[in-house]
Amino acid sequence: MEHLTNKDFTSDQEVKWCPGCGDYAILRAMQKALPNLERKKEDFVFISGIGCSSRFPYYMNTYGFHTIHGRAPAFATGVKLANPNLSVWQITGDGDALAIGGNHFIHALRRNIDINILLFNNEIYGLTKGQFSPTSKKGIKTKSNPHGTTDEPFSPSDLAIGAQGSFFARVVDTNPKLMQQIFVEAESHRGTSLIEILQNCVIFNDKTFAPITAKEVKKDAQIVLEQGKPMLFGAEMNKGIVLNGFKLEVVTVGENGITEKDILVHDAKEQDPTLHAMLARMRPPEFPAALGIIRAVDRPTFDEGLLAQLEYEKENAKFNTVDELLQSGDTWEI
């Protein structure tokens, strides 16, 4: 197979996001990640809905379809079912996926169709100029609720786990290496891979993730979970996560008799999602925000199930042409 580079995945269209937008870093990370997948360029398809993030397919030199608001999972499902050989990527935002498209989002996860969903979560509506979104922090003041929202925000990880999602990862737009790595791993997961990207909107919600991503705090405010490794973080890598009764807790190795052995070891492959959900909910200042692959479990996929039925029926049916169907059953001659 010919070796591809990030240039092969760069389209000739001028990128039109605002200067400083987190989307640029995500686009670059994707263009760098895809050559690592050792797949033909023509087998990648990017499907998006509506919103700033959904312009993404125009900038990828692959097959792409910028569809309608909220419905991208349904288009992506049709693409994957029609040609299961394709690598299908859905690009969406918090408004597109969780407000207008909430229904399709949960059903894609429930079916576990083999697609990758990149959820650009900036906790705001960008393209429509600054209204609150279903992930906006409660109380945020925006044009559409100048007195502060009274809406309780959605937690994408809880939605995904509640919908029996088999893969949930989280990355930040300030860590391109981690993004590249997770994009590659998402593609190799069979089933719906949901990647939540904490993405900064410089215009309407600047620094909303600063408590997680700011240089001066990030080492203590982030933990990158790795399969089989203890959950350690911090500038000194001496802070860890333990389970105390029904609750997670941050401890320091070497204090109060805590040793590395007491620290939880990450297991994204555990079928029981309870701990995954708890980890995904962690937020500063009490906890570091969990990044990396939080959940990746094996579960049958919708597309494989359908294909298996098709194969079985083709092999076991009494007929396999339309003419035979038309002649089947009760007929009579005149």
Partner 1 sequence: MDKTTQVVDLEKVVIKFAGDSGDGMQLTGTQFTDTSALLGNDLATFPDYPAEIRAPQGTVAGVSGFQIHIGRIDINTPGDIADVLVAMNPAALKANKNWIKKGGTIIVNIDTFTKRDLEKAGYETSPLEDNSFEGYNIIQAPITKLTREALKDSGLDGKSIGRSKNMFALGIVYWMFNRPMKQTEKFLEKKFAKKPEVVAANIKVMHAGYNFADTIEALPSSYTVLSANLAPGTYRNVMGNQAIAWGFLAAAERSNKELFLGSYPITPASDILHELAKHKNLGVKTFQAEDEIAGICSAIGASFTGSLAITTTSGPGLALKGEGLGLAIMAELPLVVVNVQRGGPSTGLPTKTEQSDLMQALYGRNGESPSVVLASSTPGNCFDWAYMASKITLEHNTPVVLLSDGYLGNGAEPWKIKSTKDMPEINPSIAVEGEEYQPYARDEKTLARKIALPGTKGLEHRLGGLEKEDVTGNVSYDPDNHEKMVGIRAEKIKRIADVIPDQQVFGKEEGDLLVIGWGGTHGSLYSAVDNLLADGEEIALCQFNYINPLPNNIETLLSKYKKIVVCELNSGQFANYLRMNFQGTIFNQYNKIQGFPFTSSELESHFKTLLAK
Strand partners, 119: 92, 196
Closer to partner 1 by CB, 73 or 134: give it: 73
Closer to partner 1 by CB, 45 or 280: give it: 45
Closer to partner 1 by CB, 243 or 308: give it: 308
Q: Which 42-101 positions form the footprint of partner 1 (CB under 8 A)?
A: 42-43, 45, 47, 57-58, 60-68, 71, 73-83, 85-86
d(CA 239, CA 231): 8
DSSP state of 155: -
Written as six digits, the tokens of 53 are 């993030």
Q: Using CB under 8 A, which of the segments 144-152, 160-168, 195-203, 326-334 binds partner 1?
A: 326-334
Residue of 193, 187, 189 lying closest to 165 (CA atoms): 193
Please give the torsion angle defined by the CA atoms of residues 275, 280, 283 and 288, in that order, rounded to the nearest 10 degrees: 80
Closer to partner 1 by CB, 12 or 286: give it: 12
- Give the residue carrying structure tokens 């997961």: 189
Kindly state whether residue 5 participates in binding partner 1, applying the rule CB under 8 A.
no
**# of chain residues touching partner 1 (CB under 8 A):** 57
Written as six digits, the tokens of 136 are 């906006």
Q: Using CB under 8 A, which of the segments 35-43, 204-212, 236-244, 289-297 binds partner 1?
A: 35-43
Positions of E strands within 213-320 = 222-225, 232-233, 239-244, 247-252, 289-296
- What pairing do the DSSP bridges indicate for beta strands 289-296 and 222-225? parallel
Q: Which helix (H) or strand (E) holds 27?
A: helix 23-33
Closer to partner 1 by CB, 4 or 250: give it: 4
Kindly state whether residue 238 participates in binding partner 1, applying the rule CB under 8 A.
no
Please give the torsion angle defined by the CA atoms of residues 87, 88, 93 and 99, in that order, rounded to the nearest 10 degrees: -150
Closest distance between partner 1 and the C-beta of residue 327, in Å?
Answer: 6
- Give the residue carrying structure tokens 């993404």: 56
- What pairing do the DSSP bridges indicate for beta strands 239-244 and 232-233? antiparallel
Q: Which 268-307 positions form the footprint of partner 1 (CB under 8 A)?
A: 306
Per-residue x/- track, 168-207, partner 1 (CB under 8 A): ----------------------------------------
Strand ordering across the sheet containing 232-233: 232-233, 239-244, 247-252
Closest distance between partner 1 and the C-beta of residue 281, in Å?
Answer: 26
Closer to partner 1 by CB, 54 or 200: give it: 54
Closer to partner 1 by CB, 75 or 132: give it: 75
Closest distance between partner 1 and the C-beta of residue 76, in Å?
Answer: 6
Which of 144-172 are b and which e, b meaning 16 or more Cβ less than 10 Å from the residue's Cβ? eeeeebebebbbbbebbbebbbbbbbbbb
Strand partners, 243: 248
Q: Using CB under 8 A, which of the segments 134-142, 179-187, 216-224, 318-326 binds partner 1?
A: 318-326
Closest distance between partner 1 and the C-beta of residue 273, in Å?
Answer: 22
Closer to partner 1 by CB, 61 or 164: give it: 61
Closer to partner 1 by CB, 67 or 128: give it: 67
Rg (CA), the chain: 22
Would you tell me which residues interact with partner 1 (CB under 8 A)?
11, 13, 40-43, 45, 47, 57-58, 60-68, 71, 73-83, 85-86, 103-104, 107, 306, 309-310, 313-314, 316-317, 319-323, 325-327, 329-334
